[in-house]
Amino acid sequence: MSFSLSGIASGLDTNTIISQLMQIERIPYNKLESKKKTYDAQLSVFRTINTKLAALRTAAEDLRLQANFSLRSASISDETVLKSAASDAVQEGVYVVQVEKLATYSTFVTDGVDASGNSLAGLTEITIGLNGNETTINIDEDLSGKTNDEILALIAKKINKKINENKDLGVRATVIQNEPGKKALMLTAKEAGGIEITLDADVSLGGKNKLGQNAVFYINGIEFQSSSNEVRDVINGLSLTLLKEGTSTITVSRDADKVAEKVEAFVKAYNDVIQTIRENTAQGKLLQGDSTLRTLQNTLFSEFNAKVAGAEAFEFLSQIGLSIDEGKTSAETMTGQIVFNKEKFKEALLNDPEGVFRLFSNHDSQNPGIADRFTETLRYWTRSGNGILAARIQGYNAEISFINKQMEDMEIRLAMKEEQLKKQFTAMETMLIQLQNEQAWLNSQLAAFLVR
């Protein structure tokens, strides 16, 4: 670091002079910095569009799957009897379900004992049997100072702990009050059905087993049984939750709203891309007239309006409720975005589901569907490494790296220049001080001479 003498001899504000000179020297640096900011902003736009194109491609790929055009829903005539959920695998139709019996769980309840008494203090082990399969649980604690209520709570805790350790022990334990002032231990089977529960102990606990039962129900007159009220495997793709005895009708049909949601996702992704392009390429904007983005916009427009000659009933998306700038006649109001007539789409889907699907995915390389075209076209635009947008992004990264290197080199030169200026002005001040000292000496000599 140089030593600076700011205006000691000259009276000049040399620090300000140096600062102003350095501002002139930094003009090329500032231009590079501004250029880098522009490139950074443009790079950010291309990265954003690349991400949004990937989302559009994903939405297009979803529309190539026939399963997404076969989404189902189930309506239930009496939801107090049962609830139901339909997957895509279930066939459309009407299912009349009559619930004759609900599945119940076997229980074993010991005889009630005085809650505050100590009659169970001698208990050391209990044995639980489930359909003859027995499990013994040791108490391993001194119960002499505990009440029957505390002892039963301890037993329930040990049983439930054993359940966590041994999943085959299919009961849960809890303490209940079966009479005023009396407590009992209740064991409940984890699975419904007629499971016989037994409980033996070295202190008599008594009690009795109440058998559970399987659910019994009929679907379109055919009898079924289930060990649970949650029925999953009777009709492929249709799950039932039995709630009470009674009859309810389930109507399974194609869910046009669910299919429309898939199309809406595509529409939203498309419009998002177009809006981003137009916002950044309009007059006075960051990427005004950018040829790559203009080409992208035109490509998307062409793919959307393409004719699918090999499709069945429909050849254009406009026939099923999708069009660009529908109803707009002036350039000022046109946005280039898709307008989705959901009701028209649903009507077309319900009338000809296969025709609608073929319009999106025709499985014909000569006449691909719209979703096929978008998927393939966007592959060239979004793939990493050698995709069209990837090339632009790599170009920006290279330019920014080059500018960074230029700025780093320039910062070194500017620092050296500033140091040089400081040394030059310090030398000037030092020289002036010497001259002023010499002048003072000459003046003193002259004054002495005149006195003589």
Structural domains of the chain ordered from first start: 72-103+215-254 (no CATH), 107-210 (2.60.40)
Decide: helix, strand or coil at residue 21.
helix
| Closest of 96, 29, 76 to residue 247, by C-alpha | 96
Q: How far apart are CA 321 and CA 350, in angstroms?
A: 13
- Cβ(306)–Cβ(281) below 8 Å: no
Q: Which helix (H) or strand (E) covers residue 323, if one does?
A: strand 322-324
Q: How far apart are CA 87 and CA 74, in angstroms?
A: 9
CA dihedral 269, 273, 279, 280 (to 10 degrees): 150
Token pair, residue 189, equals 């089977």
Is pTM beyond 0.75 here?
A: no
Token pair 């334990």 is at which residue? 173
Q: How far is CA 267 from CA 60, 69, 90, 274, 312, in A?
A: 10, 16, 28, 11, 23
Decide: helix, strand or coil at residue 107.
strand
Measured in Å, how far apart are the chain's first and last C-alpha atoms?
A: 50
Please tell me the number of Cα atoms within 13 Å of 400 on its side-chain side. Answer: 15
Q: Which helix (H) or strand (E) covers residue 408, if one does?
A: helix 388-451
Residue 144 confidence (pLDDT):
84
Residue 271 confidence (pLDDT):
96
| Closest of 132, 129, 127, 108 to residue 212, by C-alpha | 108
Contacts 24+ apart (CB under 8 A), 270-273: 270/56, 270/59, 270/300, 270/304, 270/337, 270/338, 271/337, 271/338, 272/52, 272/55, 272/56, 273/49, 273/52, 273/53, 273/56, 273/300
Q: Kindly provide the residue ranges of all beta strands, DSSP E only, lying in 190-229, ordered along the sequence.
A: 197-201, 208-210, 215-219, 222-226
Q: How far apart are CA 58 and CA 63, in angstroms?
A: 9
Q: How far apart are CA 272 and CA 269, in angstroms?
A: 5
Q: How far apart are CA 413 and CA 409, in angstroms?
A: 7
Strands 113-114 and 238-242: what pairing?
unpaired
Residue 165 confidence (pLDDT):
72
Q: C-alpha 309: how far from its chain's center? A: 38
Using the CB atoms, write b or e for 152-187: b if 16+ within 10 Å: bbbbbebbeebbeeeeebbbebebeeeeeebbbbbb
**Longest distance between any two alpha carbons in the chain, whole Å:** 146
* 3-state DSSP of 39-72: HHHHHHHHHHHHHHHHHHHHHHHHCCCHHHHCCE
Q: How far apart are CA 340 and CA 321, in angstroms?
A: 6
Residue 61 confidence (pLDDT):
95
- Cβ(187)–Cβ(197) below 8 Å: yes
pLDDT by 10s per residue, the chain, length 452: 454 555 566 667 778 887 888 788 888 888 888 888 988 888 999 999 999 999 999 999 999 998 888 888 889 999 999 999 888 778 889 999 999 999 999 999 999 988 888 888 888 888 888 888 888 888 888 888 889 899 899 989 988 888 777 666 788 899 999 888 899 999 998 888 888 888 888 888 888 889 999 999 999 999 999 988 999 878 888 899 999 999 999 999 888 999 999 999 999 999 999 999 999 988 888 888 899 999 999 999 999 999 988 666 899 999 999 999 887 777 777 889 999 999 999 999 989 989 999 999 987 778 899 999 999 999 999 988 788 998 898 888 888 888 888 888 888 888 888 888 888 877 887 888 888 787 888 888 788 777 76
Q: What one-letter code names the amino acid at 423?
A: K
Residue 56 confidence (pLDDT):
96
Task: Quickly list H helices, 249-369.
Answer: 256-281, 291-304, 342-351, 353-360
Using the CB atoms, write b or e for 319-351: b if 16+ within 10 Å: bbbbbbeeeeeeeeeeebbbbbebeebbebbee
